[in-house]
Amino acid sequence: MNRLRQLCHASARRAWLAGLLVLLLPGLALAHPHGWIDIRVRLVVDEAGRLEALHQAWRMDPFYSLVLIEELSQTEGGLEAGLDRLGGEIRGNLAPFDYFTEVRVGDDKLSLGEVTEYTVMERDGRVEFVFLLPLAAPRALSEQTLQYQVFDPTYYLEVVHEAEDDTPREEALTVGGELSCTTNILPADPDPERVMEAAQLDMDDEAEPGLGRHFAETGVVTCE
């Protein structure tokens, strides 16, 4: 368990699971990324039509989930207690990086608050981190277009919305409240130079800060 805790606290720039992948998968393909996360996002809107928070659910890839569930099942208190402890470690590692999330309304980048509500669970054989990411201050959405991206800055992990046959699921991006809004998830369209850059990075290389942005999907929400 001590080794697992050390790995979960390792290089936050590579997120909270990179160290474990390095340890367990020495033969993993050399090019970035080395794992992936499937996400769902729900905009939390108050009665005045203002965005208050982004409720996010991150599902770890099946192989990493299998390894993590096996490890945590053997720790004190079993799987449930291990997942609870892991939740705090994940939150702590992501906090300095705004939880890998950028949100804009028009040209304004919105400031984000601190995550205090979160949990980690096992669902259908995969580990899922669920958390509420508040804005620093509510922002009106009426007659506005909001865009967000969720990405690992180093592109060590790929972050994509939950999809079926390469088409994002309807529940991958939803809006709460009474506003009438349209939603869309735009695929990443990286420059070939960025693709080559990522392909040349091996397991131990540090990516250029911000590389992951070029491979990020964009959630778009337009409200009447």
Q: What are phi and psi of 87, to 5 degrees?
A: -55, -45
pLDDT tens digits, 27-84 = 334 456 778 999 999 999 999 999 999 999 999 999 889 988 998 898 888 999 989 9
According to DSSP, the residues that pair with 54 across neighbouring strands are: 43, 133
Lowest mean pLDDT among 89-98, 125-134, 176-185, 208-217: 208-217
CA distances from 78 to 21, 82, 85, 132 (A): 22, 6, 11, 26
Spatial neighbors of 133 by CB under 8 A, at least 6 apart, are: 53, 54, 55, 56, 99, 101, 112, 113, 115
Confidence of residue 15 (pLDDT cuts 50, 70, 90): very low
Local structure of 54: helix, strand or coil: strand
Residues in the chain: 224
pLDDT tens for 165-221 read 889 999 999 999 888 999 999 999 877 777 777 776 665 566 666 788 888 999 999
- Residues 26, 33: Cα–Cα separation, whole Å: 14
- pTM for this predicted structure: 0.81
Q: Where are the domains of the chain?
A: 2-223
Using CA atoms, how far residue 50 sits from 134, 222, 224, in Å, is 12, 13, 12
pLDDT class for 140, splitting at 50, 70, 90? very high
